[in-house]
Chain A
Amino acid sequence: MPKTKKELTNALLKWVYGIDFLDEYRYQQAAQIGNTCFLIYFFGSMLAMLLSVGLMRSKVNWAMDFLLLFHVGLLLVSIFYMTHQSRKLGLLVVEVLPEDYEAEKNRRLKRHRKNMLFYFVSYTLYSSFMDHGFQLPDLLADLIRPAKLINSLILTAILYAVIKHQTLKNIRILKEETN
């Protein structure tokens, strides 16, 4: 468990960005990426708010949908930027010696399996909530619906495959001592 504020920040950064080894350089780069994402999101939200208020005043009934979609768009842009920068700057790369490769691979895959379980549960809850809101009986009934579970399972499997590919790509073997 992180004890100090700094340790907590580091743990959060590692979790959000997926950085395995957070050193000074990676911390600074992650902070910089975070700042840019914040600016994108902050000014984007202001723009979205302004436009949706304009739409509401014009008595357009899709103003709320527009606001939500704009935010989803901003979120996607931020995530894309974050992923692109992390890959470009090599923040997620872990270098291991040949003999440690298998152990590192298994460790990471195990962690990803846990993450995927978390994703499966949260996606199922999320999609049911989006359909039924706070109507608890309907929500609970929807949660155990086979079609819903299969849908969540398929999405989780696709995501797992993509992330597994990326994870394995980020483990690099140090072939020789670099001078």
Chain B
Amino acid sequence: MNRVKDYRIQAGLSQLALAQAIGVARQTINLIENDKYNPSLDLCIKLAETLHTDLNSLFWEKETILPPEANKLSLREQCLPLLSSLYLELYKVAKEQPQYHKASQAVDRFLEEAKNSKLEGVAFATRFEAFIKGFSLELLANNLTMPEEAKASWETLYDRFQSKEIVSTLRASRLNFY
């Protein structure tokens, strides 16, 4: 349902006055308001100009303003809050247990890199993979396990790493490479 009627009433215009202003019959305005006629783009623009608004406000359905994909964050954007919380949790742990200091610094470095770099898609997925593997190996090499406080963030991050999106992106990039 369009919002021509709402804007017309808001502008204090009758159907006839609006019709005369844009050069159509009153019945046409009535049909447009009741969704029985799809006006041409020219007429839509005239309507928007007369009602001092824009086409989106008049005709666009809120639910379909953007396609679902447009609202989807990129992998890098999805990882940023997870990395932030992992860093904060490790930082807190490292204050009491200094052996985790290096681990928290590693997360901090990657977080900064992710924030500042414009890497997306395959490039970021590759870099993310390197970080996850390197970080896991470093923990193993130092005989450390993930502290309880940071476990939730780490697991979420790891799940993200194992997500279909990353696995398929990395697999496709390797297939292309070979």
Which of B9, B15, B25, B37 is packed against the most chain A CB atoms within 10 Å?
B25
Q: Find out whether the CB atom of B26 lies under 8 angstroms from the CB atom of A174.
A: yes
Nearest Cβ in chain A — how far from B105, in angstroms? 67
Contacts of B30 in A (CB 8 A): 178
Partner of B14, one of A26, A93, A177: A177
Question: How far does the alpha carbon of A81 sit from the alpha carbon of B42 in the complex, in Å?
Answer: 30
Q: Is A21 an interface residue (CB 8 A)?
A: yes
Question: How far does the alpha carbon of A24 sit from the alpha carbon of B25 in the complex, in Å?
Answer: 9
Flag B127-165 by CB within 8 Å of A: 1 or 0 each.
Answer: 000000000000000000000000000000000000000
Q: Is B39 an interface residue (CB 8 A)?
A: yes
Partner of A25, one of B14, B31, B42: B31
Interface footprint category on B:
10 to 19
Q: Find out whether the CB atom of B25 lies under 8 angstroms from the CB atom of A21.
A: yes
Q: Is A95 an interface residue (CB 8 A)?
A: yes
Number of A residues, CB within 8 Å of B: 12
Chain B residues touching A, majority SS = helix
Q: Find out whether the CB atom of A23 lies under 8 angstroms from the CB atom of B28.
A: yes
Question: How far does the alpha carbon of A95 sit from the alpha carbon of B43 in the complex, in Å?
Answer: 20
Contacts of B21 in A (CB 8 A): none
Contacts of A90 in B (CB 8 A): 27
Partner of B25, one of A95, A177, A178, A179: A95
Contacts of B25 in A (CB 8 A): 21, 23, 25-26, 93, 95
Question: How far does the alpha carbon of A174 sit from the alpha carbon of B19 in the complex, in Å?
Answer: 13
Given contacts A26-B28, A178-B26, 13 further A-B contacts (CB under 8 A): A21-B25, A24-B39, A24-B40, A25-B25, A25-B31, A25-B37, A95-B16, A95-B25, A174-B16, A174-B26, A177-B15, A177-B16, A179-B9
